Amino acid sequence: MLPNLAYSLSLASLIALASCHGPSQQPSHQDSNSLMSNKTSVQTAPFGSWASPISATLAAGSSKNIGALELDGDQLYWLESRPLEGGRSVLMHHNGTATGAEITPADMNVRTRVHEYGGASFLVNDGQVYFSNFADQALYQQAATPNSTPTRLSKDDDLRFADCKLDGTRNRLLCVREDHRHEGEPSNAIVAVDLTAGQTNGELLWGNSDFVAYPRLNNAGTQLAWISWDHPNMPWDNVALWLADIDDAGQLSNTRQLNAGVDESVLQPVWANNDTLYVLTDRSGWWNLHLATKDELTAVHKLDAELGGPLWGLGADFFALISDTEALVEYHNASGSGLAKLSLVDGSLAPLDLPFASYASLHTNNQRAYVIAAPADRPSSVVEIDLETNQHKLIVASGDKAVADEYLALGQPITFPTSGKQQAYAYYYPPTNADFTAPAGELPPLLVLMHGGPTGATGNSFSIAKQYWTSRGIAVVDVNYRGSTGYGREYRQLLNGQWGVVDLEDAVAVTKHLVSQGLADPARLLIRGGSAGGYTTLSALAFTDVFAAGANYFGVADLEALAKHTHKFESRYIDSMIGPYPEALDVYIARSPIHALEGFTAPLITFQGLEDQVVPPEQSEMIYAAVKAKGVPTAYIAFEGEQHGFRKAENNVTALESELYFYGKVLGFEPAGELPKVNIENLVE
């Protein structure tokens, strides 16, 4: 959107070349058993009762979560979260082996709690690692070699650091700092941490907004770019892009906003050289690449596809510069996604032919790219791509595939009609198990998954947790309801003022759509979700009679309580999703499941982390107590030491097995194998 550089592209032609999703299609019920039809040993058993090679232990603890990548020259590093170590995050170095070398000491955990969701918790530069340690949230420095001893850099407790970059000219780090030392909301700012001063709290450089992100220094150390936003905006709403000069004393001067007067979401400023700055912005309706020059932003290209995503975690690398004339980008819309080279000269896009469903943490160096790539049929991996030949090789995988293809259900993209003569999107996973088929005429239970956010998205990259259900004979549909990202700003904003309405309508619409296709038993419809998805789950049980049962993972029962007690990052989020509080109190009450108990008749199981600062435990406790008092079958399982989402393998195992046990009891099927008994209140057997 550079003069003479705008280039309109047909995404249909790009997807035909590069998409791993393929075109949208309607799944067929017959297809769900096609893998089994020629096996003489196939057993006939009811859906939901199939014996599966995918245990809860395999699903919950078999894979390490590979997070952000970093390049230090030609040295590659990545973050590895380990469920079998309580979710501890460890920095790894690519040393030519299949696993890599572990850099982080065994008693430390590389994870920041800035915004509670963290992100950008480490930096590697010139053989030195700078990182936040989870236990004390202090900032540390360490040699990027195994068995080296970290040195603490930050002084006071109650300070959190993230998204640091080295200012080599002045021997300091420029970081996002979140200050919890005072009453009320913490303050967020860009600070300079002097690497020669011993333990220090950092010198304030800029703190004029509620939130800051992406402090990025040009190569000469003479200019700093960053983004900021203020309540009630979120980083996908209205974001300011800033540029400042750095004077001889290291202070900011001539600070100016480059996009004043424009409502847009700006992401990831990247310096190509001392004077050329690129950013992503959705001012066209899609997150596209723009050049920031002479206090204005001009489009490098025009593409009806997203090159960025919601900034839930700090420091996300959505694109990377290959050279002065080319960038590496991921693109995504309703037709699919892919990785491509984008010309910075004429805006043309050259998709790469790669066998992956999604990409993250893009980095380039000397015509080689390093990305976290996720296929549809195996765990995600760190992948190296030769940008001259487009050949790729695996560096390290997050886990073993461990399961044969004939037990795996691949996500089929579907588009379905919903309210207001609009459409929404989802991925459907049929029941798939080579050893079993269902009795003639039986339809499978359907588990409807609602992602969190609500500004978020799901995809069809490999998830062994989904296979846990499909391999047992339970169909799954993962919904990108209106408000999800990946479909443009307009689709994302359809949820504004309508949270608890259109997401719920889409959950019901996709369910009815699949029932009409003969793909689900209308009497055995299930819904589950976490956080915002948990809210939709509770709403579905409170405001509709479509679902036979639900699983609520740390969801919102009382919107007013959430507005009062959630953390700073999201404390004004629902101003746009529901309405300003307390002015819209009547809407908060009307859409809160806790105030609609008369409609609550379907069984509910609830899971909660007791250290959750995003959706506090009181939300789960109140809905459990209310449903129990009403006489509805219900269960509640809480986990000590867990926050917003569970990281410990043993807790995820318990949650999966308990959820399956619960569904079996309330729907009347007998899951295969031994499952721990769950205390279900009000259940009459």
Contact predicate 484/492, CB 8 Å: yes
- Whether residue 685 is predicted with pLDDT greater than 90 in this model: the reply is no
Contact predicate 446/663, CB 8 Å: no
Superfamily for the 29-57+404-667 domain: Alpha/Beta hydrolase fold, catalytic domain (3.40.50.1820)
**Weakest-pLDDT range from 190-199, 291-300, 424-433:** 291-300
**Weakest-pLDDT range from 29-43, 168-182, 274-288:** 29-43
Please give the residue that has the higher pLDDT: either 685 or 22: 685
DSSP tag of 14: H
Q: What is the pLDDT of residues 529-549, one digit of tens each?
A: 999 999 999 999 999 999 999
Reply yes or no: is the peptide bond before residue 454 cis, omega within 30 of 0.
Answer: yes
Please state the rounded mean pLDDT for residues 483-502: 97
Write down the domain spans for the chain.
29-57+404-667
DSSP tag of 494: G
Q: Can you tell me the distance from the alpha carbon of 61 to that of 373, in angstroms, rounded to the nearest whole number?
A: 20
How much of the chain, in percent, has pLDDT values that exceed 90? 87
pLDDT band at 401 (very low <50, low <70, confident <90, very high): confident
Mean pLDDT for the chain?
92
Q: Can you tell me the distance from the alpha carbon of 632 to that of 327, in angstroms, rounded to the nearest whole number?
A: 56
Check the CA dihedral 293-294-297-301 and report its sign. negative
Q: What is the pLDDT of residues 342-396, one digit of tens each?
A: 999 999 999 999 999 999 999 999 899 999 999 999 999 999 999 999 999 999 9
Q: What is the pLDDT of residues 1-11, one digit of tens each?
A: 232 222 223 33
The total number of residues shown for the chain amounts to 685
Contact predicate 443/520, CB 8 Å: yes
SS3 488: coil
Instruction: Give CA 665 to chain center in angstroms.
Output: 32
Tell me which long-range contacts 320-329 makes (C-beta under 8 A, separation of at least 24): 320/270, 320/362, 320/363, 320/364, 320/369, 321/270, 321/272, 321/278, 321/364, 322/364, 322/367, 322/369, 322/387, 324/272, 324/273, 327/278, 327/289, 327/300, 328/362, 328/364, 328/369, 328/387, 329/289, 329/362
